Structure 1
């Protein structure tokens, strides 16, 4: 967990298996890593991108929906 990773994004419902407890989320959050789940990565080709995540501010909540934007970095 000491590689400078700040965010883990997956194109699935969760970073953890369905039957799992919240252990995966706790490990990531304690390491300062944000889990971003439910991304639509269909049609994304390998390459270099800038990722922008714009979450809704929901006071008192520990998660929120967001708008995820991927900008291709040109040569």
Structure 2
């Protein structure tokens, strides 16, 4: 259990017994920031599918999409 920035109580269920509530809260916040980032990518870069499965292919496609986005803006 932890509290958000507005003082609301949040309960998280996990099987990680060696991790404190504060660490779990930080993990959830980091996870949410990744979700927001990927949502932005899907909305603004118009990448419906990735062409490759290797890290280099994914990075290449994302970097090309970022470059095109910046040039168009």
Give the structure-1-normalised TM-score.
Answer: 0.25
Higher relative contact order (Cα pairs below 8 Å, separated by 6+ residues): 1
- Greater Rg over alpha carbons, structure: 2
Give the structure-2-normalised TM-score.
Answer: 0.25
